[in-house]
Structure 1
Amino acid sequence: MTARKPAPPAEAVAADAHWEAKLAKLRARTRPTVTLSICDDEDLKKAAATARFLEQQAKDTAEKNPGDKASQAAAKAASDHLAAAQAALDEASVELRFQALPRNEFRELLAAHPPTEEQAEKGYDYNPDTMAPILIAAASLDPLTEEDAAEFLGAWSQAEGDALVSAALRVQKTDRMDLGKG
């Protein structure tokens, strides 16, 4: 027997003439994604951060002095410098992209990796040691395998490994909704 999708109440549809369009938008939504950007060149990261700061200062000065051609030119030069610094940082960076799993898949993954007794005492809902590489690979939009994830988690620093796990886990809890108007 196939499940029948119930029709919305006629009075509700009549009250919202745009219901079909809303429903189409809801069905077309994609799952949330996050990007983890990795760059080992501290000088490039500092240069981009400094350029971002200097651009903001130059823009603030230009806004306060709209008729001053020198401050307008300085703001433009700062923006150009930031664009160049950001391009250099982007070129040296590796980006890993993660997407939320469908809800039932994420719940199954959590259930398949229950916490140890010690982890449960610390408040864990799952075993991060066994689940992390699987979650990273499953959520990755890049061809990142469980073996790759396990290798990185073993070789990278604690903070970097935690950032990798956090990106794959954080996207599972990304909320793009609000209660809006009442």
Structure 2
Amino acid sequence: MERLRARRLAERTLSICDDPALKAAVTESALRLARARTEAGSASIEQGIAEAARSEWVAQQPEVLAAEGELDDAQRELDAATLRLTFRALPRPAWEQLLRDHPPTEAQADTGMEYNVETFPAALIAACHLERDDAGTEVPSMSETDAQELLDAWADADAKALFTTALVVNQTLRADLGKG
């Protein structure tokens, strides 16, 4: 029971980067690194490097080291430009209360909706979103008004990604039910 009680609620992060050039730079750098490793691997065979020592030899080649540095730099730039929103699953009673607070309209219920599609998304995002300061301490995060503002201002695909991340963290099963 101690281990079961110690389990943490699931978390999921939505990463957003609006700079396609930074994403492309990481991809291109990763390809250059793969090419450098392949070429160094071929050179190691030509030079008769023993198979057991080959991977270490390849890793020490100047072209490989340079490509790794380039990829690290590109990844750092991408990381700096990327916004990360973290969501934590709600305990079951909080989830159920949120559903009760945002019941579907009659028309929505007739189509099988479990919640009000107009009010529930922002409420769920606000309830699940969490922020941490540089020390890792949780700090106040997004309000329901903030969440609604994002849902209204962002393009449909981005707004759906925001809501889906908050929804999925609450609906992903982390247990293995076995093959039974």
TM category, shorter = 0.7 to 0.9
Higher mean C-alpha deviation, range 130-139 or range 47-56? 47-56
- The separation in 2 between residues aligned to 1:144 and 1:113, in whole angstroms, is 18
Give aligned-pair identity as a percent.
Answer: 43
Residues 72 and 141 (structure 1), Cα distance of their counterparts in 2 relative to 1, 3 Å cut: same
- The separation in 2 between residues aligned to 1:139 and 1:52, in whole angstroms, is 34
Structure 2 regions of 5+ residues with no counterpart? 132-140
Contact 1:58-1:71 at 8 Å conserved across structures: no
Higher mean C-alpha deviation, range 168-177 or range 99-108? 168-177
Aligned to 2:14, the other structure's residue is in SS state strand
Residues 122 and 79 (structure 1), Cα distance of their counterparts in 2 relative to 1, 3 Å cut: farther
Contact 1:139-1:168 at 8 Å conserved across structures: yes
Match of 1:80 in 2: 69
Match of 1:101 in 2: 90
Instruction: Name the TM-score, length of structure 2 as normaliser.
Output: 0.75
- The separation in 2 between residues aligned to 1:121 and 1:155, in whole angstroms, is 29
Match of 2:81 in 1: 92
How many residue pairs align between the two structures? 160
- The separation in 1 between residues aligned to 2:60 and 2:14, in whole angstroms, is 34
Aligned to 2:130, the other structure's residue is in SS state coil
Contact 1:31-1:101 at 8 Å conserved across structures: yes
Match of 1:126 in 2: 115
Match of 1:41 in 2: 19
Residues 152 and 59 (structure 1), Cα distance of their counterparts in 2 relative to 1, 3 Å cut: same
Instruction: Name the TM-score, length of structure 1 as normaliser.
Output: 0.74
- The separation in 2 between residues aligned to 1:57 and 1:25, in whole angstroms, is 46
Task: Give the drift of 1:147.
Answer: 1.0
Per-residue Cα deviation, 1:119-162 (whole angstroms, up to 9, x for no partner):
33443221221011111111011211111111111111111111
- The separation in 2 between residues aligned to 1:83 and 1:91, in whole angstroms, is 12
Superposition CA RMSD, Å: 2.6
Task: Give the drift of 1:116.
Answer: 2.5
Match of 2:138 in 1: none
- The separation in 1 between residues aligned to 2:34 and 2:173, in whole angstroms, is 30
Residues 180 and 149 (structure 1), Cα distance of their counterparts in 2 relative to 1, 3 Å cut: same
